[in-house]
Chain A
Amino acid sequence: MSNEAAIHPVTETSHDAHLDEHDIHHHKQSFITTYVFSQDHKMIAKQFLITGMIWAIIGGLMSVLFRLQLGYPEAHFQFLEDILGSKWAKGGQIQPEFYYALVTMHGTILVFFVLTGGLSGTFANFLIPLQCGARDMASPFLNMLSYWFFLGASVVMMSSLFVETGPASGGWTSYVPLSALGDASEGSKTGMDLWLVSMAMFVVSSLLGGLNYITTILNLRTKGMSMTRLPLTIWAILFTAILGVLSFPVLLSGFILLLFDRHGGTSFYLSDIFLTETGKALPNEGGSAILYQHLFWFLGHPEVYIIILPAMGLVSEVMSINARKPIFGYMAMVGSLFSIAILAFLVWAHHMFVTGLNPFLGSVFVLLTLLIAVPSAIKVFNWLTTLWRGNIRFTPAMLFAIGFVSTFISGGLTGIFLGNSTLDIQLHDTLFVVAHFHIVMGVSGILGMFAGIYHWFPKMYGRYMNNTLSYIHFWITFTGAYLIFWPMHYEGLAGLPRRYLDYSNWISFNQFGGLNRFISTVAMITFAVQILFVFNFFYSIFKGRRVMDKNPWGATTLEWTAPIRPGHGNWPGEIPEVHRWPYDYAKDGRDFIPQTEPLGSNESAH
C-alpha cells in the first residue's frame, strides 16, 4: 500500500488495519516535527495558509499606502515620513520610487505569494489526500520542501524591502529593459536581484508542490475513487498543478536570461540603449525586449488561471453542499476546466497587442482569447442552475461562493473588452485593465479562498469561526470590492493610464479627483475589515465553538468521514472505500448520501 509507504518508508507495510492504528499511536512527534518541519499535509496546508495570510496583510497594507497617495496627491501625511523615513516619504508624501516599489510589491505578493502559494498551497495540500482518500501526499518530504522554499522565497522578498535602493519597482511583470538596468531605475539595482532570486525559489516551491499534487491525485486515490468520482475541487487543483508545472519553468528560463543580461553582459533582451541618466550608450545590440514579454506571459497568463481554477473548484463544492443539490453538469464542469486549462496556454500574447506584434498574429490571439469566454460562460450558467430550486443555507462559505460568481461574471465580461484587440488599443494599460483583473482575478480569487477557509476551518481546527463576524466580513468585503473597482472602469474608459501616482498635472486625466478619494476611502475600510477576519481566524483557532459533529455541513465527501481532529494518516483503520460520485444531494428524497455508501439495489448512479 503505497500510502503507508509514503509516510513510514522504513516500516514494513501492511494492509492490516490494526497495525496501521498501532503505527499511528506509536509515533510520538516532537514539537518541531509537528509544527515546524512537519510532513503532514494538513500541517503544511496550515503553514501555507498562515504564511499567505501574513503576506496578504502586508500586500493589502501596501495598497492602502498607495491608495492614500492616489486619493490625496496633495496631502502631507507626517506619520508616513515618521515611519518610512525621508527617502521614501519626504514631507509625508510618497515619493515616485517608493510608489512604484509599492505597486510592484503589491502585485508580486498578491499574485504569487497569496493567490498562488496561499491559495493552491493551502487547499491542494489540505484537500487532495482528504478528498481522494490518501494517508498523505505521494512524497511528504518534497511537500515539506515545497513549503520551505516558499518561506525562503518569502524571506528573500521581504528582505528586499529593506535594501537601500529599495525593492524592485518595475511592476510585477518586471518588463525589460527597465528591470535589467540599474541605471534606469533605483529598484532595478539590488532590489531586482533579490526579486529574481525570490521568484526562482518560488518557482521551485511551486514545481515541488505541483508534481506532488499531480502524482497524488493520479496514483493515491482510495478504492472505488475513479477520476469521475472526484470532487470538482480536486479536478480544479489537478488542472492548476498541470498548468503550473508546464509554465513556471518557462518563466524561470526568462528570469535566468534576465540575470545574464544584468550581470553577464549578454544581450538577450537589450538593444540600442542610451541612458539619459549616465549619458552613455550601452554596447548591447540585437536583443529583443519583446522576447521577455513572451516568456513572461507564457507563464503570466496561465498564472491567472492558476489563481482562479482552485477558487472555481472550492466554489463549486461549497455551492453544491449549501444549495443541498448536486452541482449541475459535473462533466461539463470538468470539461470546461479542461478547455480553460488548454486555452490558457494559447492566449498569452493578448497582453501584447500594442507592442508592435504582427496584427495577423494578434488576430489569432483575439480568437483564442474570446474562445475562453465559452467554457467560462458554461461554468457560470452551471452555478446558476445549481442554485435554481435548491434549498440554500447561507453559511459564510456559501455567501463567499455566491459573491465569487457575481464578481467572476463582472470581471469576466470586461475581459471580453480587453481580449478584443480593437478595444485593447484604447484600454490597454489603463485603469480599466486594473479594474478588470482585480475583479476577476484578485477579488474573485480571494472570495473563493475565503469560501474555502470558512468551509474547511472546522476540519482544519476542529472549531467554528464566529458567524456574526463572518457575515460582517463578507458583506463589507463584497460591497467594498464593487465600490472600489466598478467606478474604476470609468476612469479606464476615460483613458487614465495605470501606474500614475498623480493625475492632477494632466489636462486629459484630471477629472476624477473626487472619485479617487472615494475609492481610497472604501479601500481603507475594506482593508480594516480584513483585519477583523484575521482576528476572527486566530481567535477561533483557540477559542471558537467546538465542532461536535464529524460532518457539520452534511457533506458527502471523504474528508468528513475522518475524525474531527484527524492525526497524521487521516483515518484510523482502513481508508474508506468510495461507491458513488460526490454530489448525491437531495437524491431519492434523502438530504445527502455520503460517497462511502454503496449504491442501493435499485438505485442508479447519477
Chain B
Amino acid sequence: MSTLFLLLILLFGFLITFQIAKASEYVGVLKGEKKNFEQNNKVNGFLMIAFLVAGLIGVYYCNELYRGKILGESASVHGEQIDTMMYITIAITGVVFVITQILLFWFAYKYQYSEKRKAMYFPHDNRLEVVWTVVPAIALTVLVGFGLFYWFRITGDAPANANQVEVTGKQFGWIFRYPGSDKVFGKKYYQNISDKDNNQLGLLWDDPSTHDDIVTSEMYIEVNQPVKLIIGSRDVIHDVGLVYFRQKMDAVPGTPTTMWFIPKFTTAEMKKKLGNPDFEYEISCDQMCGRGHYTMRGIIKVVNHEDYVLWLAKQKPNYAQVMAGDIAPAAAGTATDSTKASTMRTNPAATKLVAQKN
C-alpha cells in the first residue's frame, strides 16, 4: 500500500514538474525568445558559481566528516610507505583539482553571454600548449618516481628470516598452513584434497616434510617480525586483502603468489589504540568469488614472540590429526566459512549442507 502511495506521489511530482516546464516554455515564447534566453543564461551562470562554492565547501566538509574513518596509522611498515605515497599524490592532485575546477566554473560564470562581449578568436598558442604538456609531464614523473621506488621495496624479496605462512582461499573461507619445525612446506597435489579425510590442502603424506605441517583456520603472526605469505586458491580466484596492513594479493588457482610485510602492532595493542575491544585484523576477500564473497572473512592474530611460539607449539600437525582420526576442522562447522551463519543469507540447499556438516 505504502509503495503504491509512494509511486502516486512520484507520478504526481512528475506531472507538476512537467506542467510547470510546459508553462514556462509558453511564458518564454510570450516574453520573446531573446529575453527568455538571456534570463535563463543568467540563472545558469549563477548556478555555475553557486555549484563551485557549494562543491568546495562540500569537499571540505566531507574531509572533516570522514577523516577519522579512513586510513588511521598503518599497522605495517610497508603500509607507512603506501601512506606516504598517498599523501604525496593527494597533495599534487588536490592542488590540480582545486585550480582546474575553480577555473572551469569561474570562466563559465565570468564569460557568460553578454550582448556587449565579443568572444575572442584564439585558436591556438604553441607556448601555452607546451607549458601544459611539460608541467603535467614533470608532475607525473615525480609521482612515477616515488611510486616505483616504493613499489620495488614492497614487492622485493622477503628477508631471509621471515616467517612463512601459506594461505589458501576456498569458497568461502581461508586455510592456513605453517611449515612446522623443519621450516619446509611438504608437497601437495590438488587431486588429493579431501575435506572428508581432513586433508583440506591435498598434502602428500609420502613426503616426510608434510608430517610436521600445521593446518589451521586462524592465522597467528609475530609482531615486528617479517612474515611472508604464500598465497593460493583451491577453486576460483580470491584475494587476500589486509586493510590495516595495506596489503593485497590475489589467490589464483594453479599459480602461487606471495606477499610479505612487517606487522607493527599486536592485536591487543590495536584494541587499545583504536579503543575497540572487539578489534581483529581481518582478511577480506577482495576478488569476486561467488555468492558468499562478502562473508569470506579470516582473522589474523598478531602476537608477541612468546605467545607465537606458545601457540605454534600447541598446534597438532595435520598428519598427526589424520593418523589419530581426528575430525576435520572444516567439518566441525563453518567457522572459516563465514562471519556468522545466522546473519548470512543462505539458500535452502546451502543451509541444508551446513546442517549436515554440523
Judge whether A30 is part of the interface by a CB distance below 8 angstroms: no
Question: CB-defined interface of B167-206 with A at 8 Å, one 1/0 digit per residue?
Answer: 0001100000000000000000011011110000010000
CA distance A505 to B202 in the complex (A): 31
Min CB distance, B347 to chain A, in Å?
7
- With A366-B148, A468-B24, A495-B243: A392-B112 Cβ-Cβ less than 8 Å: yes
Q: Contact check: which of B51, B147, B170, B244 meets A276 at CB < 8 Å?
A: B170
Min CB distance, B300 to chain A, in Å?
11
Min CB distance, B221 to chain A, in Å?
17
- With A355-B252, A471-B40: A323-B282 Cβ-Cβ less than 8 Å: no
Residues of A within 8 A of B140 (CB): 370-371, 373-374, 416
Judge whether A338 is part of the interface by a CB distance below 8 angstroms: no
Which stretch in A32-40, A302-310, A555-563, A579-587 binds the other chain?
Answer: A579-587
- With A178-B237, A422-B154: A354-B119 Cβ-Cβ less than 8 Å: no
- Of the four ranges (under 10, 10 to 19, 20 to 34, 35 or more), the interface on chain A belongs to 35 or more
Residues of B within 8 A of A508 (CB): 243-244, 282, 284
Residues of A within 8 A of B148 (CB): 363, 366-367, 421-422
Question: CB-defined interface of A536-555 with B at 8 Å, one 1/0 digit per residue?
Answer: 10010000010000000000
CA distance A274 to B193 in the complex (A): 7
Closest to A590 in B: B121
Residues of A within 8 A of B154 (CB): 422, 425
Closest to B194 in A: A279
Judge whether B143 is part of the interface by a CB distance below 8 angstroms: yes
In the complex, chain B residues 108-139 whose Cβ is within 8 Å of any chain A Cβ: 108, 111-114, 117-125, 128-129, 132-133, 136-137
Residues of B within 8 A of A482 (CB): 55, 58
Min CB distance, A484 to chain B, in Å?
13
CA distance A11 to B123 in the complex (A): 44
Closest to A585 in B: B119
Min CB distance, A381 to chain B, in Å?
4
Judge whether B158 is part of the interface by a CB distance below 8 angstroms: no
- With A384-B104, A430-B286: A332-B124 Cβ-Cβ less than 8 Å: yes
- Cβ B234 vs Cβ A274 within 8 A: yes
- Cβ B85 vs Cβ A420 within 8 A: yes
Residues of B within 8 A of A279 (CB): 194-196
- With A100-B291, A289-B237: A468-B108 Cβ-Cβ less than 8 Å: no
Which stretch in A91-99, A140-148, A229-237, A453-461 binds the other chain?
Answer: A91-99
CA distance A460 to B347 in the complex (A): 50
In the complex, chain A residues 379-422 whose Cβ is within 8 Å of any chain B Cβ: 380-385, 387-394, 399, 402, 405-406, 409-410, 413-414, 416-417, 420-422
- Cβ A486 vs Cβ B252 within 8 A: no
Residues of B within 8 A of A90 (CB): 345
In the complex, chain A residues 584-600 whose Cβ is within 8 Å of any chain B Cβ: 585-589
Min CB distance, A343 to chain B, in Å?
13
Residues of B within 8 A of A326 (CB): 121-123
- Cβ B82 vs Cβ A426 within 8 A: yes
Min CB distance, B64 to chain A, in Å?
11
- Cβ B107 vs Cβ A184 within 8 A: no
CA distance A414 to B290 in the complex (A): 28
- Cβ A428 vs Cβ B286 within 8 A: yes
- Cβ A472 vs Cβ B17 within 8 A: yes
In the complex, chain A residues 458-500 whose Cβ is within 8 Å of any chain B Cβ: 466-469, 471-472, 475, 478-479, 482, 486-487, 490, 493-495, 497, 499-500
- Cβ B343 vs Cβ A505 within 8 A: yes
- Cβ A490 vs Cβ B70 within 8 A: yes
Judge whether A26 is part of the interface by a CB distance below 8 angstroms: no
Residues of B within 8 A of A502 (CB): 294
- Cβ B17 vs Cβ A469 within 8 A: yes
CA distance A445 to B3 in the complex (A): 33
Question: CB-defined interface of A339-365 with B at 8 Å, one 1/0 digit per residue?
Answer: 000000000000000111001001100
- Cβ A471 vs Cβ B44 within 8 A: yes
In the complex, chain B residues 227-266 whose Cβ is within 8 Å of any chain A Cβ: 231, 234-237, 239, 241, 243-244, 246-250, 252-258
Min CB distance, A84 to chain B, in Å?
14
Judge whether A566 is part of the interface by a CB distance below 8 angstroms: no
CA distance A272 to B20 in the complex (A): 64
Which stretch in A13-21, A169-177, A248-256, A258-266 binds the other chain?
Answer: A169-177
Which stretch in A45-53, A192-200, A209-217, A527-535 binds the other chain?
Answer: A527-535
CA distance A388 to B107 in the complex (A): 6
- Cβ A178 vs Cβ B122 within 8 A: no
Closest to B100 in A: A409
Judge whether B311 is part of the interface by a CB distance below 8 angstroms: no
CA distance A528 to B97 in the complex (A): 30
Min CB distance, B254 to chain A, in Å?
3
- Cβ A531 vs Cβ B133 within 8 A: no
Question: CB-defined interface of A267-279 with B at 8 Å, one 1/0 digit per residue?
Answer: 0001111111101
> Can you report 14 residue pairs joining A to B where beta carbons are below 8 Å apart?
A96-B293, A177-B253, A178-B237, A181-B235, A354-B250, A371-B140, A385-B128, A393-B113, A410-B97, A416-B89, A425-B154, A469-B18, A505-B343, A585-B121
Instruction: Knowing that A285-B254, A385-B122, A420-B85 touch, tell me 7 more A-B residue pairs with CB under 8 angstroms.
Output: A272-B253, A327-B123, A378-B129, A406-B101, A499-B294, A585-B119, A586-B119
Chain B interface residues toward A at CB < 8 A: 3, 10, 14, 17-18, 20-22, 24-25, 28-29, 37, 40-41, 43-45, 47-48, 51, 55, 58-59, 62, 66, 69-71, 79, 81-82, 85-86, 89, 92-93, 96-97, 100-101, 103-105, 107-108, 111-114, 117-125, 128-129, 132-133, 136-137, 140, 143-144, 146-148, 150-152, 154-156, 170-171, 190-191, 193-196, 202, 231, 234-237, 239, 241, 243-244, 246-250, 252-258, 276, 278-280, 282, 284-295, 297, 339-340, 343, 345, 347
The 4 tightest CB contacts between A and B, nearest first, are A271-B254, A356-B257, A495-B243, A394-B44
Chain A interface residues toward B at CB < 8 A: 79, 90, 93, 95-97, 100, 169-171, 175-178, 181, 184-186, 270-277, 279, 281, 285-290, 323-332, 354-356, 359, 362-363, 366-367, 370-371, 373-374, 377-378, 380-385, 387-394, 399, 402, 405-406, 409-410, 413-414, 416-417, 420-423, 425-426, 428-430, 466-469, 471-472, 475, 478-479, 482, 486-487, 490, 493-495, 497, 499-509, 511-512, 515, 528, 531-532, 535-536, 539, 545, 583, 585-589, 606
